[in-house]
Amino acid sequence: MKSIAMPLISLQLGRRHVLLAAAGLALTSGPAAAEIGVDEATKFIDAITKQLMETVNGPAEAAAKSQKLEAIIEAHVDIEAVARFCLGRFWRGATPQQQKSYLDLFHRVLVNNITGRVGEYQGVTIVTNRAAARESDVAVTTTVTRPNNAPNRVDWLVSAESGKPKVIDVIAEGTSLRLTQRNDYLSYLSHNNNDLQALIDALRQQAGK
């Protein structure tokens, strides 16, 4: 998974990085939830990947690229939906304060990990291939290539449940990255007496708070 060119999530709990490749700047606000289709999702991802390539391959300094990537993440990835998915059943059992703390920290760790790795993305190319409707979203297949690495198939899952298209998962070479992250969280919790606060504290340490 480290060969993925554009990770948007690299949440680590002391043992490994799990990458969630992500989305960027769409050219329009997108259709309403009931109107999302294959063509709309394809255009959305095509516009995003072009903006991502322009950002990371451009001449700007690393700090400016990091700011742009942060804006891309916040605008076009459904961060809250991904965060809740990764927590699984523990989300429902969390107190309102724990939910707020978890979401804030998830967001901060995500941004920190992406902006801290911006130098690794130089030279990336992303080609949009095809798309297929699924039960509640659309999977858009791309080919991601970076220097000195073999091309990778990366499927971007697009949902419009929030009212406009958002990226909710990436499947890299057959591996769902949000599902992998959720399994990591559940494993961490099972080794810590299912104590959600322990996970929150670990994320706080990662976020430097």
Mean of pLDDT over the chain: 83
Is position 2 within any domain? no
Is position 75 within any domain? yes
Mean pLDDT across the stretch 23-51?
66
The CATH number assigned to the domain holding 86 equals: 3.10.450.710
Structure confidence at residue 57 (pLDDT) = 94
The alpha helices in the chain, defined as continuous H runs, are: 38-57, 62-76, 79-87, 90-93, 96-115, 177-190, 196-207
Q: Which residues, 6 or more positions from 72, have their beta carbon under 8 angstroms from its beta carbon?
A: 22, 23, 24, 25, 48, 51, 52, 55
Percent residues over pLDDT 90 in the chain: 62
Is position 172 within any domain? yes
Structure confidence at residue 93 (pLDDT) = 94
Q: How far apart are CA 188 and CA 169, in angstroms?
A: 21
Is position 1 within any domain? no
Is position 40 within any domain? yes
Q: How far apart are CA 166 and CA 14, in angstroms?
A: 29
Structure confidence at residue 189 (pLDDT) = 97
Structure confidence at residue 18 (pLDDT) = 34
Q: How many structural domains does the chain have?
A: 1
Give CA angle at 16 (77, 11), nearest 5°.
Answer: 25
Is position 141 within any domain? yes
Q: What is the DSSP letter of 173?
A: T
Q: What is the DSSP letter of 169?
A: E
Domain that holds residue 17: 7-207
Is position 43 within any domain? yes
Is position 142 within any domain? yes
